[in-house]
Amino acid sequence: MAIFVKNIKQLVQVEEKPVVWRAGKEMQTFHKIEDAYLLTEGEKIVDFGKMCDFSPEKLSKIKEKIEEIDATGKFVFPSFCDSHTHIVYAGSREIEYVDKIKGLSYEEIAKRGGGILNSAKRLAEATEEELYEAAWARLQEMASLGTGAVEIKSGYGLTTETELKMLRVIRALKKNSPLIIRSNFLGAHAVPLAYKGKQQEYVDLIINEMIPMVATEDLADFIDVFCDKGFFTPEETERILMQGMKYGMRPKIHANELDYSGGIQVGVKYNALSVDHLEYTGDEEIAHLLGSETMPTFLPGAAFFLGMIYGPVRKMIDAGLPVALASDYNPGSSPSGNMQLILSMGCIKYKMLPEEALNATTINSAYAMGISDIAGSIAKGKTANFYITKPIPSVEFMPYSFGSNKVEQVVLKGKII
Ligand code: NIG
Ligand code: FE
């Protein structure tokens, strides 16, 4: 199949010379073409430009059947890349949410059997098919809201068998979904009840049993650890990351959500692709990130839902760093995968300019999941992942009009969804 989108009011985030990310002041820039066309063939973008430079010969070179779309009055954006999610889970946790409204602390909820361990219990009882169906429905909704690539973590299993079960579900989603998917092994999400008071033994289990088995089935692109106060220490994180790297998994870690945990430093030391959450980021952490290949990633959905402090995004961009934004879609701290809302939160809560928030949710979040060579912008040879908006007046309208769906039509891997 080929797609010819014509009369596009504005084609946004186009790149003649693709970059891997945008940092510092560069985050305020992206290229756009007014009154544009876009041409795809198979799974790829093959051409784009101004309507006045379009000639019918361009279509005669296309071998596949061409579908024509008239986008008069509409914008075309590259699909969002959501570089941090936990969308394979069973059930939901709205009761804990109500408990939180009533004033219960995270610790009190955990004591009542809530939190990550609650999701682990439910996941153990669910079949692979049930988990697949539930995650598939979440992916469908995310796609309808403009997302075209998703990183998915394990971490609600917490036994070898159930972690493998989660990762096999992610593998099946990867194979069948129209979205680009990457998988992340997060055995170190929490210490399961069976290992209460024996954290070291659980870390040994991850290192000696889980990681080799995950690698044998080639189930994970990345390795993750919740490196934070009350969860896993920087020393435990180092041991887990080293073993994951030995088996070919690049680190991408949860860090500094609850405290100055040392997680950012460990992430940079092991060349993590990203360090995520980062509510507690000071000058020392910023100094470590500068000059590194690690993408600082913020998850405003979780900060909003839990009523936490917001990380120093403005300060970090002003210091010259790149920043990515992702949804953290999970049942406990961010039960939403709506990247349009994340775009708005970037502007409203972190004082990012619309251009910065757009880069943070496309090219920079593509980098944070290792796919900026194939996604995150409109460039020749990249995967044809984009959405066509309803008629809107400007790029700025996207974050401004928070809470409503501005996406009208979605194309993923060159197919209309
Ligand atoms: O990314 N911070 C750690 N893990 C998840 C929350 C998981 C849960 O509560 O189920 C997060 O926010
Ligand atoms: Fe997370």
Q: Which atom of ligand 1 is nearest to the CA of 115?
A: 9
- pLDDT at position 105 is 82
Ligand 1: which residue has its CA nearest to atom 12? Answer: 333
Find, among 175, 167, 252, 254, the residue nearest to 214 by Cα.
167
The structure tokens listed for 57 are 């010969």
Contact present, 408 and 390 (Cβ < 8 Å): yes
330 Cα–ligand 1 center, Å:
7
Who contacts 336 (Cβ-Cβ below 8 Å, separation ≥6)? 301, 327, 329
Q: What does residue 386 show for φ and ψ, rounded to 5 degrees?
A: -155, 170
Angle at 360 between CA 12 and CA 383, to 5 degrees: 55
- pLDDT at position 106 is 72
The 8-class DSSP code of residue 124 comes to H
- pLDDT at position 370 is 98
- As a whole number of angstroms, the distance between CA 85 and CA 154 comes to 9
Q: Is the CB of 115 under 6 A from ligand 1?
A: yes
Find, among 247, 364, 355, the residue nearest to 294 by Cα.
364
Q: Which of 117, 118, 280, 328 should be mutated for ligand 1, with most atoms under 8 A from CB?
A: 328
85 Cα–ligand 1 center, Å:
9
- pLDDT at position 282 is 97
84 Cα–ligand 2 center, Å:
6
DSSP H/E element including 296: strand 295-298
Q: Is the CB of 328 under 6 A from ligand 1?
A: yes
* CA 347, 348, 350, 353 torsion-angle sign: positive
Q: Is the CB of 226 under 6 A from ligand 1?
A: yes
Q: Is the CB of 150 under 6 A from ligand 1?
A: no
Contact present, 148 and 375 (Cβ < 8 Å): yes
Contact present, 249 and 221 (Cβ < 8 Å): yes
- As a whole number of angstroms, the distance between CA 409 and CA 71 comes to 10
- pLDDT at position 301 is 98
pTM: 0.97
- pLDDT at position 121 is 95
The structure tokens 């400007």 sit at 394
Ligand 1: which residue has its CA nearest to atom 3? Answer: 226
- The DSSP-derived string for 168-190 is HHHHHHHHH-SSEEEEEEEEETS
In terms of Cβ atoms closer than 10 Å to its own Cβ (0-12, 13-18, 19+), residue 45 is buried
Q: Which of 158, 189, 256, 258 should be mutated for ligand 1, with most atoms under 8 A from CB?
A: 189
Contact present, 45 and 357 (Cβ < 8 Å): no
Q: Is the CB of 118 under 6 A from ligand 1?
A: no
The structure tokens listed for 104 are 């219960």
Query: Could you read off the pLDDT tens digit of each residue along the chain, which spans 417 residues?
Result: 999 999 999 999 999 999 999 999 999 999 999 999 999 999 999 999 999 999 999 999 999 999 999 999 999 999 999 999 999 999 999 999 999 999 998 778 877 878 999 999 999 999 999 999 999 999 999 999 999 999 999 999 999 999 999 999 999 999 999 999 999 999 999 999 999 999 999 999 999 999 999 999 999 999 999 999 999 999 999 999 999 999 999 999 999 999 999 999 999 999 999 999 999 999 999 999 999 999 999 999 999 999 999 999 999 999 999 999 999 999 999 999 999 999 999 999 999 999 999 999 999 999 999 999 999 999 999 999 999 999 999 999 999 999 999 999 999 999 999
339 Cα–ligand 1 center, Å:
18
Q: For the stretch 141-162, what's the b/e string if a residue is b when 16 or more beta carbons lie within 10 angstroms of its beta carbon? A: ebbebbbbbbbbbbbbbbbeeb
Strands 250-255 and 407-412 turn out to be unpaired
Q: Is the CB of 116 under 6 A from ligand 1?
A: yes
Q: Which atom of ligand 1 is nearest to the CA of 257?
A: 2
Ligand 1: which residue has its CA nearest to atom 8? Answer: 332
316 Cα–ligand 1 center, Å:
23
DSSP H/E element including 222: strand 222-227
